[in-house]
Amino acid sequence: MNILVITASLMFVLSVRALTASPTADEGLAQTPPMGWNSFDSYGVYLHEQAALANLEAMAEKLLPYGYEYFVIDNGWFGEYILQEDTIFPAEKHAHDIRINEYGHFLPSEVYFPNGLKALSERCHALGLKFGVHLMRGIPRKAYEMDLPIKGTRYTARDIANTNPDENCNWCHYCYAVDMSKPGAQEWYDSLIEHIAGMGVDMIKYDDIVAHPDEVEAVAKAIAKTGRPILLSLSPGNTIDPDAIDYFRMSNMVRVTPDVWDEQKYIDLCFQAWRKWQGKEQPGFWIDMDMIPFGQLQLMSPPSSDGEKTVMDKGDIALAGKGVRRICQLNSDQMETFITMRAMAASPLMMGGDLPSLDSYSLNLITDVDMLACNQNGVMGSLIYEHNEVEVWKTEKGGSSQVAWVAIFNRSEVVKTFVLCTTKLGLKESSSISLRNIWEKSKLDLNELVKIPVNGVIFIAVNQ
């Protein structure tokens, strides 16, 4: 993945442009952290029509009542895949061909979406949900090869494409970068986003773009021109520069982690990102720690004979995502830590696991009313105490909230004990303080000694 590297002089130029010429995200969108479902964790880049409809209906039933609203199809929805014989499983990691129109705009795959996306979008809206798609930065290489025109201009794809390998995505080869200094470049993004908006899209997850502020700006301008309220999410995370925050704020959320999966090391990466990005959130713009990998994952990877395989065997086809079909491998303590962190950090809540088959424990975690209240409070918590691999983070009250939240995380491989004193919890001495253990649904007392499980958490609602 690309790493954003900006010299001091270039950073000055970018900052001036961002403050004087660049659009901002729609002020009515994402006033609290966005919530929804994204297909990548469960279907990789191979979501198909039947699974999309099933997850859409399940989302309306299980998640919409709790505020989850964005139904997002990840990468590959325009890919013409070769399939394994007599199956719906892909026989290639990325599609050998993509479907585009006469202007190079993406069209739904005839392999996985033979009936297009219109009915899916309409059903999404009829259920009260919002419809989203994934896009890769740039212009399709196929449009370059065919030298297709840029709609409404005298320019073509070859006039604006940047074919320099150093400027292009090294893990997905559908598109070339766009040279924003060339005539026709902004018009490309304008026409593409107009086309996407015409599909009834309410959210775009734009990938391979955080290292390219000029293309972020081009997309934001194009969205503004549509007049449609489209939420913009920027990816990937990994190593990005907080000094480019003005550009990221043209969107509604920016990824600050690599792809996050169901292993402890990814939870640790999220803690690192949380430290780095504290205080950068604001209504309309949120720090995104990636999706929630609960439930069934990687359903389109080769199925195993015993149903227990979690890693690839020699001879398996290397597919997008990580590992093969499995149930989330995090234990209950890790899952509580995972979702508590998302709540306390005011990170967007984008569920990634398969919804029709979702287990009750995972569903209860992601729909817990206390967890959701903390997340939608919209204040990123801060680290207030750490000692001996125990960290205490506090999220202050925001808006009309009468509650603050404290999380005590055990970052070690042994059980820890902790005394609930006001100093360590960041609380003022008061006789009116009441503490409630959110996951245990029980009352806690000041100066009580609690045990924190390995890689676990005590998640506390504080009334004061």
CA–CA distance from 276 to each of 323, 337, 349 (Å)? Answer: 29, 19, 19
Distance from the Cα of residue 378 to its chain's centroid: 17
pLDDT of residue 1: 39
CA–CA distance from 462 to each of 45, 139, 378, 435, 453 (Å)? Answer: 42, 50, 16, 5, 21
pLDDT of residue 186: 98
Q: Compute the average pLDDT of residues 104-113.
A: 98
Of 18-22, 26-30, 50-54, 345-349, the one with minimum mean pLDDT is: 18-22
As a whole number of angstroms, the distance between CA 322 and CA 327 comes to 13
Q: Is the pLDDT of residue 125 over 50?
A: yes
Of 106-110, 314-318, 327-331, the one with minimum mean pLDDT is: 314-318
Q: Is the pLDDT of residue 151 over 60?
A: yes
Q: Is the pLDDT of residue 25 over 80?
A: no
pLDDT of residue 8: 33
Same fold? 8-379, 383-463: no
pLDDT of residue 401: 67
As a whole number of angstroms, the distance between CA 277 and CA 289 comes to 10
pLDDT of residue 400: 63
pLDDT digits (tens, 9 = 90+) for 216-263: 999 999 999 999 999 999 999 876 777 888 999 999 999 999 999 999
CATH 3.90.1150.10 corresponds to the domain 8-379: no
Q: Compute the average pLDDT of residues 361-386.
A: 97
pLDDT of residue 20: 38
CATH fold of the domain at 383-463: Immunoglobulin-like (2.60.40)
pLDDT of residue 11: 37
Q: Compute the average pLDDT of residues 35-58.
A: 98
Q: Is the pLDDT of residue 308 over 80?
A: no
Q: What are the residue ranges spanned by the domains of the chain?
A: 8-379, 383-463
More confident residue, 413 or 464: 413
pLDDT digits (tens, 9 = 90+) for 56-108: 999 999 999 999 999 999 999 999 999 999 999 999 999 999 999 999 999 99
pLDDT averaged over the chain?
91
Distance from the Cα of residue 216 to its chain's centroid: 16
Name the percent of the chain lying above pLDDT 90: 84
Contact (Cβ atoms closer than 8 angstroms) between residue 23 and residue 227: no
Q: Is the pLDDT of residue 120 over 50?
A: yes
pLDDT digits (tens, 9 = 90+) for 189-214: 999 999 999 999 999 999 999 999 99
pLDDT digits (tens, 9 = 90+) for 250-303: 999 999 999 999 999 999 999 999 999 988 999 999 999 999 999 999 999 865
